[in-house]
Homo-oligomer: A and B are copies of this chain.
Amino acid sequence: MTVETRASSRCFGGEVHYCSHHARATGTEMRFSIYLPPGDGPFPVLVWLSGLTCTEENFTTKAGAYRKAAELGLMVVAPDTSPRGEDVADADSYDLGQGAGFYVDATEEPWAPHFRMYSYVTRDLPAVLKSDFPARQGPMGLSGHSMGGHGALTLALHHPELFASVSAFAPIVSPTRCPWGEKALSAYLGAESKTWEKHDASLLMASGTAAGHFDDILVDQGTADGFLEEQLRPELLEEAARQGGQKLTLRRQDGYDHSYFFITSFIEEHLAFHAERLR
């Protein structure tokens, strides 16, 4: 694979790079940012999946993650949230199409040719990290926000061989039971809601998927999040964890909203959570 480095900056003694590469899964150029901590590596890897409307930039500039990543010697990778380009399908809406890939492989037109973020994150991205960067071999950590929290939970539950730790900020915990999820999954996967179920973290967890693999899953949720009751519904994940026997540490953070001001306040605790499990 050939990775193009589009921009680089030194940061906390390491380097932030904005990169792009041709991804087989999406058939497009995909972009990601990567933080390399000081030193030669190999480094354990944390992948961050962003939410609706985000690109690879939001986390990179706003999360304030690299001070602690440098200290912990953690490589942190943040991919874009969908394929993009003039030849890629789009919708006139912030929660579908470009910027809203939902970490599934679409089966329906016009999305099927390129909207394959599930395969991109579980196949192309790990491959390029191991071929082109000083990534430690073996499982990675996975985290994300909102739509990306949904992605983190579902991909980690399906791929315990790839991920040793998982956490999320304000995740969409049950896309089969919220407007964002219903809209996206019906568009990408078709009207038959049976096919949606394997992309629903709460349903997966309740049925015992990957049970016994993750010693704990860390989720932070702000109590002043405007999407809390209609879209996020963390109580569904709590109930699923009980049913499936999965230990879950769900922290309701008093007064925090859905923004990166919330994420930055707790990102260092998530980095430490992953670093401990990636040792």
Contacts and interface: CB of A to CB of B under 8 A. Distances in A.
B9 A67 contact: no
A115 to B, nearest CB: 29
Contacts of A259: 9
A206 to B, nearest CB: 31
Contacts of A66: 261, 264
A265 to B, nearest CB: 5
A108 interface: no
A16 interface: yes
A183 to B, nearest CB: 26
A257 interface: yes
A104 B10 CA distance: 32
A260 interface: yes
A265 B64 contact: no
Interface in A254-279: 254-257, 259-262, 264-265, 268
Interface in A1-44: 9-13, 16
A13 B255 CA distance: 9
A51 to B, nearest CB: 15
Nearest to A265: B12
A16 B261 contact: yes
A67 B66 CA distance: 13
A11 B267 CA distance: 12
A224 interface: yes
Contacts of A67: 64, 67, 264-265, 268
Contact of A9 (B16, B254, B262): B262
Interface in A228-270: 254-257, 259-262, 264-265, 268
Nearest to A67: B64
B224 A265 contact: no
Contacts of A12: 264-265
Given A9-B256, A9-B259, A61-B260, 17 more contacts: A9-B257, A10-B224, A10-B254, A10-B256, A10-B257, A10-B261, A10-B262, A10-B265, A11-B261, A11-B262, A11-B264, A11-B265, A12-B264, A12-B265, A62-B62, A66-B261, A67-B265
